[in-house]
Structure 1
């Protein structure tokens, strides 16, 4: 048997691999040189005009208050802490908006395909109304409603004596923090770990034997039992702080400002309309024969959608859904129009006080770039897990 002569690999311009690496390195070098030139030129022009630059101002006292903060903050705190408060406020709006818009959008998307004409018509009217009204106008509309149409604090609307709604916002009951709440949280985390291990074992069992264990409700039960056991170990605390009107103030509870309510309602209702259309398109992308097959097995329509149609539609739904999440996060920058202290509002105030325009704008860009890339990475990972794998 004669041996084939080994082909020599060319390391030079004739190599396609070498040319590809060379062009990539050249493009990267040009990008770095362009960024360096723009930065150097900007610093020279700022220096020539007597404009200060640098990041040292972040250690100086901010000197302004922030109306709401997730962490303790005072006007004497440095600028970096003020920016941190703005970042947390932005993330809070984005997370609440994404969760609420996903739930409502999925329900409306399924409702668009309902056999009930009233439900189908309502969902259609909602989508056409809210997606065709500019989001900034919706933010202003909800904020004006919350601050003008609602009653004053002394005539606040009470929900069962445990929550209050007025021009000052919404005040909700909150548990009085005890050790049992911490142990309950630990129990929930352990329950999530056990539930994840159970789902993995059930999936392997199905791949090995072809028989699927009932695993729809059991993971939820495991997590709930973990939290319950932790709560009991911590002494089963049950005290709640209930809001009550005391003169011109509300004692107890946790307040939700009208600014946060306005921006949350505006972003959620606006994004829900687009998510509903994404879900409707994804469900329509699944072959009608799948629904017929589920019906032939005796599955009710809601179970056929949840167990058969929706899992297959996810590969179509997830990519455009990611775009809607990114849009919601970036649209939260419009919250400055109604006075919500997000990162844009904090950066504008800091810019006016310090004159560090480049630095403040760079922080805003870095925050939105980081949150958007993080959301994209998570959704891409989830898309790979949800994708149908051909065998």
Structure 2
């Protein structure tokens, strides 16, 4: 017997004040919040570590290398469980964390996990972007009297980030996709709400088709934003426009 789709399920009442569509929209908002916050953390930490990997100081580069090896080689789901279950037990203020609102605790664990995990990948992108630049740019900056910090800030990093915008786009898309793992600790993001919708309505096809379409729309929006940034920041004559 063929499956009979019932798209009107989203307009049915889940409670006195909510429909099932409201659940999906709520999950989408959580996914956007988790992904956006994680991206800010990852970009900041990854940029710092990427610069550290290019410094002549062996302690700085060694620390950044160790960070990358650790966070890139441990599965994301394992890292999430460590942040959510293990870290609060090890911290002196762990009791306060465990007494937080469960949703807040799940959100923080998901954001920190995704941010630190993606930072290791961004670190390598920043390092490769800096490595692709001609040494003459940095040497010329130092010859003009700029300090190493000023050279990185005004010359090296602005050019490096322009070069790595395409791979950064991939990581930006991935962070929203990877945010779905947060549903394993109970966070009702888009994936979590989709699974809850199946439990309440027994409509798996409608639920996960809707969730899939929203993930696709979210990723398309991210790619359009990054392409706009790439066009706006491109240096004429330096990076091919093809």
Encode CA deviations 1:310-361: one digit per residue, 9 max, x unaligned: 2222232111111111111100011111111101111111112212211111
Name whichever structure is richer in helix by fraction: 2
Encode CA deviations 1:276-332: one digit per residue, 9 max, x unaligned: 000000001000011110011000011111111122222321111111111111000
SS at match of 1:257: helix
Encode CA deviations 1:74-101: one digit per residue, 9 max, x unaligned: x741111111111111110011011111
Instruction: Tell me which structure has the larger Cα radius of gyration.
Output: 1
Counterpart residue number, 1:99: 40
SS at match of 2:3: helix
Counterpart residue number, 2:27: 86
2:103, 2:187 within 8 Å by CA — same for their partners in 1? no
1:146, 1:167 within 8 Å by CA — same for their partners in 2? no
2:41, 2:116 within 8 Å by CA — same for their partners in 1? no
Counterpart residue number, 1:45: 2
Counterpart residue number, 1:55: 7
Once superposed, what is the RMSD of the aligned Cα atoms? 2.1
User: In 2, Cα distance between the equivalents of 1:265 and 1:314?
Assistant: 23
User: In 1, Cα distance between the equivalents of 2:140 and 2:109?
Assistant: 45
* TM-score, normalised via structure 2 length: 0.92
1:169, 1:261 within 8 Å by CA — same for their partners in 2? no
SS at match of 2:219: helix
User: In 2, Cα distance between the equivalents of 1:148 and 1:350?
Assistant: 33
Equivalent of 2:72 in 102, 111, 131: 131
* 1:290 and 2:231 correspond: no
Counterpart residue number, 1:237: none
SS at match of 2:146: coil
1:147, 1:168 within 8 Å by CA — same for their partners in 2? no
User: In 1, Cα distance between the equivalents of 2:30 and 2:61?
Assistant: 36
User: In 2, Cα distance between the equivalents of 1:138 and 1:322?
Assistant: 23
SS at match of 1:102: helix
Equivalent of 2:198 in 348, 351, 354: 351
Deviation of 1:378 after TM superposition, in Å, equals 0.6
Distance 1:147 1:62, change over 3 A: farther
Distance 1:150 1:256, change over 3 A: farther
Unaligned 5+ runs, structure 2: none
Larger relative CO (CA 8 A, sep 6+): 1 or 2?
A: 2
User: In 2, Cα distance between the equivalents of 1:287 and 1:306?
Assistant: 16
Q: How does 1:122-201 map to 2 (within 5 A)?
A: 122-146=63-87, 148-149=89-90, 165-169=96-100
Paired residues in the alignment total 238
Deviation of 1:104 after TM superposition, in Å, equals 0.8
* 1:118 and 2:62 correspond: no
Stretches (4+) displaced over 6 A: none
